[in-house]
Amino acid sequence: MKIDKIEVQHVKMPLVSHFETSFGKLLEKDFLIIKIFSGEHIGYGESVALPDPTYSEETTGTVSYMLDAFLIPLLLKEEINHPDDVTKRFAPIRRNNMAKAALEGAVWDLYSKKKGISLSKALGGVSSSIAVGVSIGIEETTDKLLSKVDRFLSEGYKKIKVKIKPGYDLEPLTKIRETFGYDIPLMADANSAYTLADIERLKEMDPLKLMMIEQPLAYDDIIDHSILQSELATPICLDESIHSVEDARKAIELGSCRIINIKIGRVGGLTEAKKIHDLCEKHSIPVWCGGMLEGGIGRAHNIAITTLPSFTIAGDTSASNRYWKEDIIFPEVTLSRPGEIDVPTGDGIGFKLNKEVINKYLLTTKVYESKTV
């Protein structure tokens, strides 16, 4: 694939409502849209990094710098034959996975379009629709939380994820169970808010019969999670701790978790996400696709990866209107039926860009011509 030029657009969009986790509150999100031009085709990618280094060390600013100073020059150095080549080319650069994934995702989309197939088919996907859940942030009152749970259940979402932190955990989760029963698929996401000193508190969640507790301990830990998992009946799901297939292998061997959340940006791209999926499939570890408040391009990539066979748990890829008044793609992502999204069958990601929306929220545009890099 000969790349003619790369365009990076920086946009900032307001969320429908604030989204709060244990590490802060978001009212808007800025992110980068990547466009890779090759002949008559354009591949689209999206940076999923947050504005602040709270979820990980990466931010929109660091991604922009890494693309400009290192990754785009490396990508344009010579032609590539397959998207897997991007991972190999970026290997000398340590971490910066979200920056790598933004470019690599655009290459995967470009590759699929040149092949005349959908991105899901290019990845080896087998599903024509995916089951989806919804993530609910920390709410100001229990009544507001219960109202949101009620609404999302009525819309058919097949997993309810609730953000928790010390002081906001047992009470809201118990209220949900008391109100809606034990049959609804409920999980908690701690975003690294606890330590082993909280082990007794976390054990009190076992009677709630949660699907899982996601990343209760430190963002870079797999050792203490193995200790905690041995004490809990509730499965632990690892998120922030897993940045590569090697991380996943070690966590599985240590017994640090029973479920793994795969986020394309966190692990450095679709190629590495596939490797983690394949490893988990081998060890009968179920996986699901997490969310990073993506715009439509990132959401489309999540849909595609979720079509792989071991994504057996509903992911966080909810409809566009869950987070945005207007999305950067058309048609927007919608529920095809309660709790399900149909997988696009068109070439590449299967969506077009909504230039009007992008221009409305556009901050900057930078173009990299192949011959000048």
What are the residue numbers of the active site? 163, 263
Give the C-alpha separation, 367 to 321, whole Å.
30
Q: Return the exposure string of 275-290: e unless at least 16 CB atoms fall within 10 Å of the residue's CB, then b.
A: bbbebbbeeebbbbbb
For residues 220 and 241, is the Cβ–Cβ distance under 8 A?
yes
Contact 51, 29 (CB under 8 A): yes
Residue 220, number of CB atoms within 10 A of its CB: 11
DSSP 8-state code for residue 71: I
CA distance 74 to 93: 10
**H/E run at residue 342:** strand 340-342
H or E segment to which residue 305 belongs: helix 296-305
Distance CA 46, CA 329 (A): 12
Nearest to 139 by CA among 176, 170, 164, 174: 164
- 3-class DSSP state of 189: strand
109, 45 contact by CB (below 8 A): yes
Task: Say if strands 362-369 and 5-21 run parallel, antiparallel, or are unpaired.
Answer: antiparallel
CA distance 135 to 214: 12
